[in-house]
Structure 1
Amino acid sequence: MLTENGREDPRVRRTKRILKETFLQLLHLKGYRRITVKDIVEHADYNRATFYHHYKYKEELANEVVQEKLNGFTTAFREPLTNMNTYSIQRLSPSDIIVFDYIIQNADFFMLYKHSEAIPGSEDQLLQTIIELFQEINNQPVKPVVGHYNSQIIIQAYGLMGLILEWVKSEFSTPPAYLNQQLISILHFQSATTQAKGETIFV
């Protein structure tokens, strides 16, 4: 439901927020496949009609949660890189990086990556998001499916993905400042090779 100025009604936002928060809580308690709509509404103290007013099924709610969190991840990753080019990236400071702070602020979602397929397909979606971010930095066209990627982008994307997954599995035991420095190293490696010729292409 939208208000007259085209914005979502605050009551709708609140209801959907509670449903999403409840869904994330249940994911940690029960796992994705065991969660039912009945579980969600009972824990959220709503009725089925309220749920079905906003979502057709559990999968639609799950997809919205993933997209919302990954959109936030994208925004946080881009924040210090706005209007930067290959050369200005070299001057990026670890203190400029905020993406790992975002992950901690949304630990209820990212801690799900400790478990394989906590939300089916979400790990692949995170990887694809990271690949597209590195394509964006390197001025490469974003492809809708995996294939024919610049080898350096693949190296960078899997490097950051592995860094995030290991950090999550350690329950954020390493300070974000250390991860910031690691991401800087990844970005510097990317920018140092962006002018290289005869690059290998992954198919």
Structure 2
Amino acid sequence: MDNYHDRRIRKSKIALKNALISLLKQKNLQQITVTEIVQVADVNRGTFYKHYQYKEELVEEMVDSIIVDLIDSYRAPYKKGENLSVDNLNVSAIKIFDHVENHSEFYAIIAKSNALIGLQSRICKQLTDLMSEVVEQSREIKGIELNLLASYQAYAIWGLIIEWINQDFKYSATYMSNQLLTILQFTRYS
């Protein structure tokens, strides 16, 4: 397939995803029709059905790509192969809040509505899995189950994200990363 067609496909899919996000701000997924999605996206129904059989497939593709970006954002500081700890982690290495800021409309829908029921649990599960990777690399802490520690850390980060969303992204991603690092250092030494 040539570059022109690839670009058209990407453009159509982006328009459909943006339309869906726009509609999800107003109502639940079950109330949204394919007709509404294509009207807001300004594409024809054939374009929708060329890429997706159902609106749920569009949602799944959108969520999957955001989850992949979440994973990449979380793992960014670890890509250099360094063994990072709270002591040698810096604010610029923390990318998870940049990810949330880049997908702020999506996260606001998840946090503030029932439009995509169950997605908070899926994101928390993914965060817990990511935390487990890091926790397993650290030394065992006597008396603490590593899976419980990973879960605690995941839900703590999710709590920060939810509070940031509830405050309409009042702070910058850098500020939120700094807050997370400060909290991690505080809890480590207190």
Query: Smaller-chain TM-score range?
Result: 0.7 to 0.9
2:27–2:115 CA contact under 8 A, matched in 1: no
1:102-181 alignment, distance < 5 Å:
102-139=99-136, 150-181=147-178
Q: What SS class does the counterpart of residue 136 from structure 2 fall into?
A: coil
Match of 1:84 among 82, 85, 93: 82
Tell me the matched-pair count.
Answer: 180
Q: Which residue of 1 aligns with 2:141?
A: none
Q: Is the 8 A contact 2:111 2:120 kept in 1?
A: no
> For 2:168 and 2:78, how far apart are their aligned partners in 1?
27
Give the deviation of 1:107 after TM superposition: 1.3
Worse overlay, 102-111 or 59-68: 102-111
The structure whose residues are more often helix, as a share, is 2
Q: CA deviation at 1:89?
A: 4.6
Percentage of pairs with the same residue: 35
Letter in 2 for 1:121: G
What is the SS of the residue equivalent to 2:64?
helix
What does residue 71 of structure 2 align with?
Answer: 74
Post-superposition CA distance 1:76-118 (Å, at most 9, x none) = 11111222325x5520111222221221122121111232432
Q: TM-score, normalised by structure 2?
A: 0.82
Q: Distance in 2 between matches of 1:27 and 1:56?
A: 19
Check conservation: 1:26, 1:40, Cα contact below 8 A. yes
CA contact (8 A) 1:20 1:61 kept: yes
The answer to whether 1:34 aligns with 2:35 is: no
CA RMSD of aligned residues (A): 2.6
Where in structure 1 are there 5+ consecutive unaligned residues?
141-147, 193-203
TM-score (norm 1): 0.78
Shift of 1:182: 3.3
| Runs of at least 4 residues off by over 3 Å | 185-192
